Structure 1
Amino acid sequence: MKNNRKLMGMLILSFVSFAGLAQLSTPPGGGSQKSYVKQHIGGVGSVAISYSSPGARGRTIYGNVVPYGFNNLGFGLSTAENPSPWRAGADQNTTFTFSHDVKIEGKELPAGKYGFFVAPAAEGAWTVIFSKDNNHWGSFYYKAENDALRVEVTPEDVGFHEWLTYEFIDRQNTSTTVALIWGDKKLPVKIELADPVGAHIAQLTAELNNQQGFNYQNFTAAAGYASSVGEHEKAIEWADAAINAPFFGQKNWATMSTKGAVLAAAGKSEESAQVMDEAIRLPGATAGAIHQYGRQLIAAGQKDKALEIFKYNHKTNNGAWPTNYGLARGYSAVGNYKQALKYMKLAKENIPAGDTLNGPIIDQNIAKLEKGEDIN
């Protein structure tokens, strides 16, 4: 019995000793509270900033609370030979986490998590540092040899700001500017995706390899984006998948016209024409859709082919709107203004009810054709 009591006492003492190492969550004492901000960039990338936010409390910040330059803090690794910058916040390291490779003020920085430090200057630009050290207390253990990137950034004067804050002050499609704001200074740092197209293609690839990849509509959308940014091989691959993939691939106007468009954008005009000749005969190929294809051919300088398409559209859809308009454009493109005028007048007669836009435009085109002028 005595041995059991002795063992129990030892276990309790052991438990209390270990429990004493853990800290309970208590209300903040009014000091430098933890803060966190995150901004998405380019639809796929992001930058997240974790920091502690001290207050100014009427103090002179720069040159006093925050000394200029690099300094010997007299603790840790901070010495005269290895001076430290400012921790750009309070308490533990301020950190920046980038989901993708970025450019900071035009200089490349790989994706990852970095400690953020600043060396202010009394005049001119400040040194901004992204360090591989990201889990220390303050800058006592800062090592210059672990810098991943240094850039020079010029601060701006602002109205007095009590709490140190990181704020995204500019947000563009593929870039953002974050500002450190405290006291009477604002330090803006521009961040942009290093390869926004590559990042988006990678994101689309990952999604199409997941649940999103089980319908042809997503593949046609992805093919259209890839084509628009010059990723032609990827665009053709995805357009083919929309048509031919097992289970969900479909051959219809949407998928075939997408393939025709990406082939044309890739400079494969003959292949594109063959695909589109089949596409206009498939479900979903409306008179309006075929009309727009004819207009694209005119814009591409393929005038005879455009007239051929307009003739097919008129015959197949029995002169429905806008097939007369299309024939007028097709004949005008090849210089046959007499025939163009004939069909433009027919187009005026079958303008859809409620359409107030095309009437005045058709009148202008009739006047041009009567003068022997092209309407395209």
Structure 2
Amino acid sequence: MKKITTLLLLFCLPIASALYAQLLSLPDGGTNQKSMIGQRVGVTDIEIHWDAPGVKGREGKIWGTPVAHYGFVDIGFGTAKASPWRAGANECTTMEFSTDVTINGQALAAGKYGFFIAVYPDSGTLIFNRNANGWGAYFYQPEDDVLRVNVRQQKDQPQSREWLAYTFANPTGQSVEVALEWERWRIPFTVAVDLKATTVASIRRQLSGAMGFDPPSMQAAAQWCLTNDVNLEEALVWADRTVNPQLGGVQTFAALSTKAGLERKLGRTADADKTMQLAMDKASVLDLHGYGRRLIGEKKYQEALAVFKQNFDKNQGAWPTHVGLARGYSAAGDLKKALEHAEAALQQAPDDLNRKSLEGMVNTLKEGKAIEQ
């Protein structure tokens, strides 16, 4: 019995060791670097994971060799008979997009993809493949390709890059340039998003949860749509909820002015005028000042001047109503009255920062020049 027990213990030890080893994270100890990078474009997250090989003295012997072969080749293992380069080392490189995107103008659905490149001497083909779990390109199947995009590489870069890297450059609100960089080659392409569509979809998802009961969140959503002239009907629903006391809303100047702006863009002028008047009645001195400046930015100079006058009368000339009138008269072309109010505002300036700004404003107007708004 003792002998049987000893044998069972000896048999179980390797199994237990294997189970513990599966839970333990240790350094790879390999010659390639496990790497990842990410970027957000609008509301779209882009993530790239790859194993980075090094040049290791092979400069001039990378491209078009077994290290990074040209075209599609039989690499002698696995089920693939014609494999592109795995655009990295070890496991296949992966790219993941949280929303639909375009790659150099070609549509690609949201998801995670295995990423390969068919490299040629003066061009290349980017390949996005459904299998994001393969090891290298040994099991690559062309029927799983979702998108292929032809590109041209930038060769003879002035600085050699030792470790293969993916980089992001030239970001805008709707796009970013992604590039594979290794040795003296750079292979760039542009990932772009439909900013309005993806943002509206993101807003809807967020408002379907707890944020859908939060007036500031709904007001921010409605204002974004107003500013970007998109999804106006639904935005007006959000704006209505924001100011509805029965739903926990509060009729603030910001919320009401957003609602009025949406009504105006939808052609409901009478409703917009009524809502905006309610907003003006609830506005603070700074609310009205900011609204007047916004109208100047929209080149509605006479409307802006009327708001600044209303603010001055309502608040009995308190700070910063003289500043507003200086800006309003200047925008409307009456520099003499603008100077009068700028000088009056200078006497009220609450701190050095405002005093210095107003001194510049006064000097500009004395030179017969309009204020920069």
- Which has the higher mean CA deviation after the structures are superposed, 212-221 or 28-37? 212-221
1:324–1:344 contact (8 Å) kept in structure 2: no
8 Å CA contact 2:330–2:338 kept in 1: the answer is no
- What is the TM-score when the length of structure 1 is the normalising length? 0.79
Corresponding residue for residue 281 of structure 1: 281
Give 1:151 deviation, angstroms.
Answer: 0.6
Counterpart-to-counterpart distance in 1, 2:325 and 2:304: 9
Q: Which residue number in structure 2 is paired with residue 53 of structure 1?
A: 52
What is the 5 A alignment of 1:1-376? 2=1, 6=4, 9-10=7-8, 12-13=10-11, 16-17=14-15, 19-20=17-18, 27-42=27-42, 44-59=43-58, 60-64=61-65, 65-79=67-81, 83-122=82-121, 124-156=122-154, 157-158=156-157, 159-193=159-193, 195-212=194-211, 215-231=214-230, 232-244=232-244, 246=246, 248-282=248-282, 285-291=283-289, 293=291, 312-320=310-318, 345=340, 348-349=343-344, 351=346, 352-353=348-349, 355=355, 357=357
Q: Secondary structure at the match of 2:197?
A: helix
Cα displacement (A) at 1:224: 1.4
CA distance in structure 2 between the aligned counterparts of 1:52 and 1:359, rounded to whole angstroms: 60
User: Could you tell me which amino acid in structure 1 is paired with residue 238 of structure 2?
Assistant: W
Q: Tell me the secondary structure at the aligned position of residue 93 of structure 1.
A: strand
For residues 347 and 7 of structure 1, do their structure 2 counterparts lie closer, same or farther at Cα, with a shift above 3 Å needed?
closer
Change (3 A) 1:254 1:15: same
SS of alignment partner, residue 137 of structure 1: coil
Structure 2: state its 5+ residue gaps.
none
Q: 1:356 to 1:110 in 2, by over 3 A?
A: same
User: CA separation of 1:364/1:90 partners in 2, compared to 1, >3 Å: closer, same or farther?
Assistant: closer
What's the TM-score once normalised by structure 2's chain length? 0.79
Whole-angstrom distance in 2 between the partners of 1:203 and 1:170:
24
Structure 1: gaps (5+ residues): 369-375
Q: Quick one: distance in 2 between partners of 1:17 and 1:341?
A: 91
* Structure 1 SS opposite 2:236: helix
Give, in whole Å, the separation in 2 of the partners of 1:166 and 1:346: 57
Query: Could you tell me how far apart the structure 2 residues matched to 1:333 and 1:62 are?
Result: 62
Distance 1:332 1:174 in 2: 36
Verify the 8 A CA contact 1:345 1:366 in the aligned structure 2: no
In structure 1, C-alpha distance between the alignment counterparts of 2:235 and 2:167, rounded to whole Å: 38
Task: Give yes or no for contact 2:84–2:117 (8 Å, CA) kept in 1.
Answer: yes
Q: CA deviation at 1:345?
A: 4.5
**Larger deviation, residues 355-364 vs 107-116:** 355-364
Paired position in structure 2 for 1:373: none
Which letter does structure 2 place at the counterpart of 1:61? I
Distance in structure 2 (CA, Å) of the matches to 1:95 and 1:233? 39
Instruction: Answer with 1 or 2: which has the greater Rg.
Output: 1
Query: CA RMSD of the aligned region, Å?
Result: 3.8
